[in-house]
Amino acid sequence: MRRAHREGGGIMMRKVTILLLAAALVAGAGTLAAQTLNSGLRGPAPLNDEGPAPPMAPNKNTAEKEVRNYPEQPPVIPHSIDGYQIDLNGNKCLSCHARARTGESQAPMVSITHFMDRDGQFLASISPRRFFCTECHVPQSTSNPPVSNDFVDIDTLLSRATPGGRR
């Protein structure tokens, strides 16, 4: 009886070993396949290598306003801001977008919300918490999106709605 029990245990141990080896082979093949694929955002670099960074695409540099995709979206920056100083010592954006400068620059004035403190009280100058423009506003690149996107803005969704639907 002991011998039969030992033999049964040996068969079970062999099955477990074979299953573990098969799982290791599948995992290894999957890793090898993932490392050799030339797709996705990583490019041809293997998973354990960093690979070269793709070249930076130039920023858009126009005077045109971009359409916003959703309510409360911060406007994007339609021009290059390379070399702009935006720190505790100064804010180059305000040389055109400050209330006193928009007449000569023809740039849109900073939103009135940027003159409010945390309690909703209006200030004479830009609120310190709104001073660093690039925390919310970003320049736009001329590159194509790296991944596909099927985003539809609210106006398009509303125009697709049926006449009896909610608007």
Judge whether 58 and 45 are in contact, CB under 8 Å.
Answer: no
Q: What is the pLDDT of residues 132-155, one digit of tens each?
A: 999 999 998 888 877 888 888 878
Task: Give me the sign of the Cα torsion angle 106, 136, 72, 144.
Answer: positive
The rounded distance, in Å, linking the Cα atoms of 26 and 94 is 59
Q: Give the CATH number of the domain where residue 122 resides.
A: 1.10.1130.10
Per residue in 101-121, is it b (16+ CB within 10 Å) or e — as a string?
A: eeeeeebeebeeebbeeeeee
The rounded distance, in Å, linking the Cα atoms of 88 and 96 is 18
Identify whether residues 62 and 125 lie together within a single domain.
yes
Token couple for 164? 């009896």
Q: Which residues pair with 87 in a beta bridge?
A: 90
Q: Are 93 and 159 within one domain?
A: yes
Whether residues 46 and 62 fall in one domain: no
* pLDDT tens-digit series, residues 84-133: 999 999 999 999 999 999 999 999 999 999 999 999 999 999 999 999 99
Among residues 114, 110, 111, 81, which one has the least CA distance to residue 94? 110
Domain that holds residue 63: 58-143+152-167
When divided into structural domains, the chain yields a total of: 2
pLDDT tier, 62 (very low <50, low <70, confident <90, very high otherwise): confident
Domain identity same for 13 and 39: yes
